[in-house]
């Protein structure tokens, strides 16, 4: 089975996290291509609401991507609306060391289904893209059609950060998952790729993270930059199944399985000058937490 182009005009794309950030940019750009768009998100935004109100081919489904029943419901809605399943998937929903799910503050105790515990960040960043990819394969095979999946990972899925080990672990998981599917398209008819952006200027950087991670707007990508490259990965056969695609202020490149130099531009977390300048701020909350634990006065 040879790779094929999948132009989105007239096709269906399912976008998780499609009402804000990179997902919203992907929704906007997909709409400009003439796609039919199924958007999954916990809540909408005014910008998304305005876009959806003017385009009958945008359908919003309120959903929690950590609930597999909610993921299954997306296909039910899609088939009811268009009598078909998606041709493309932009898997954008994600968490970045949220206050309710991170490694150093360690707030989660018995929060999983049935009280067995589990990190919410792992369920959003790892479980949801893997399960949705599996559903995409099953649904596409059932319809005898080709499809394309692109999952947002991160440069943190190639590199590391002592301040965000759980986030890095989840993004490494996506890179490993996509690489593992490199040889799968002839079996499934579904192409799976991942994009690894550097720092992106989205609402995920609140005031606290702006300070801790020394965020600089002039060193950050915009959501549109990431979305336009996701569309290349989704539509163009040049980017084969298993592609790991990096985008930073230095440009773009495909990451081979072995032997590549780290990126050095601003906004990647690998720039030596920025690393030295930002390390104190980066480690501040971690040191505070550990010092509190030493003294027995950790935050509840």
Q: Does residue 285 lie within any of the structural domains?
A: no
Q: Does residue 296 lie within any of the structural domains?
A: no
Q: Does residue 280 lie within any of the structural domains?
A: no
Spatial separation of the C-alpha atoms in residues 44 and 31, rounded to whole Å: 17
Write out the H or E segment, with its range, that includes residue 167: helix 165-180
Q: Does residue 21 lie within any of the structural domains?
A: yes
Nearest to 154 by CA among 179, 136, 172: 172
What's the domain count of the chain?
Answer: 1
Q: Does residue 274 lie within any of the structural domains?
A: no
Q: Does residue 293 lie within any of the structural domains?
A: no
- The rounded average pLDDT for each run of 10 residues, N- to C-terminus, in the chain (300 residues) is 94 98 98 98 97 97 97 98 98 94 88 67 97 97 96 95 94 98 94 96 84 82 96 98 96 90 74 68 78 63
Domain hosting 162: range is 12-206+221-263
pLDDT of res. 115: 53
Q: Does residue 125 lie within any of the structural domains?
A: yes
- Residue 158's contacts (CB-CB under 8 Å, 6 or more residues apart) are 172, 175, 196, 244, 246, 255, 262
Spatial separation of the C-alpha atoms in residues 103 and 7, rounded to whole Å: 40
pLDDT in tens, 230-267: 999 999 999 999 999 999 999 999 999 888 787 777 77
Q: Does residue 16 lie within any of the structural domains?
A: yes
Identify the CATH number of the domain in which residue 173 sits: 3.40.50.720
């Amino acid at each position: 089975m040879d790779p094929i182009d999948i132009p989105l005009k007239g096709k269906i794309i399912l976008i998780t996290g499609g009402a804000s950030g990179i997902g919203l940019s992907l929704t906007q750009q997909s709409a400009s291509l003439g796609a039919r768009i199924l958007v999954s998100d916990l809540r909408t935004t005014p910008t998304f609401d305005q876009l959806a109100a003017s385009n009958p081919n945008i359908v919003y489904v309120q959903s929690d991507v950590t609930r597999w029943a909610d993921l299954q419901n997306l296909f039910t809605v899609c088939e009811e609306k268009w009598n078909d399943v998606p041709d493309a998937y932009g898997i954008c929903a994600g968490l970045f060391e949220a206050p309710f799910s991170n490694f150093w503050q360690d707030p989660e105790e018995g929060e999983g289904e049935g009280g067995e515990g589990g990190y919410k960040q792992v369920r959003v960043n790892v479980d949801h893209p893997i399960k949705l990819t599996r559903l995409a394969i099953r649904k596409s095979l059932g319809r005898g059609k080709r499809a394309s999946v692109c999952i947002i990972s991160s440069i943190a899925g190639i590199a590391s950060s002592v301040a965000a080990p759980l986030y890095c672990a989840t993004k490494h998981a996506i890179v490993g998952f996509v690489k593992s599917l490199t040889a799968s398209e002839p079996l499934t008819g579904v192409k799976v790729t991942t994009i690894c952006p550097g720092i992106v200027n989205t609402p995920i950087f609140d005031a606290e993270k702006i300070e801790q991670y020394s965020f600089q707007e002039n060193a950050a990508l915009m959501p549109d930059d990431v979305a336009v490259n996701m569309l290349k990965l989704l539509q163009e056969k040049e980017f084969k199944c298993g592609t790991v695609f990096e985008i930073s202020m230095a440009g773009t490149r495909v990451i081979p399985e072995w032997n590549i130099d780290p990126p050095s531009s601003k906004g990647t977390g690998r720039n030596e000058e920025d690393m030295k300048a930002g390390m104190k701020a980066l480690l501040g909350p971690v040191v505070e937490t550990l010092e509190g634990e030493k003294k027995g006065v950790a935050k509840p």
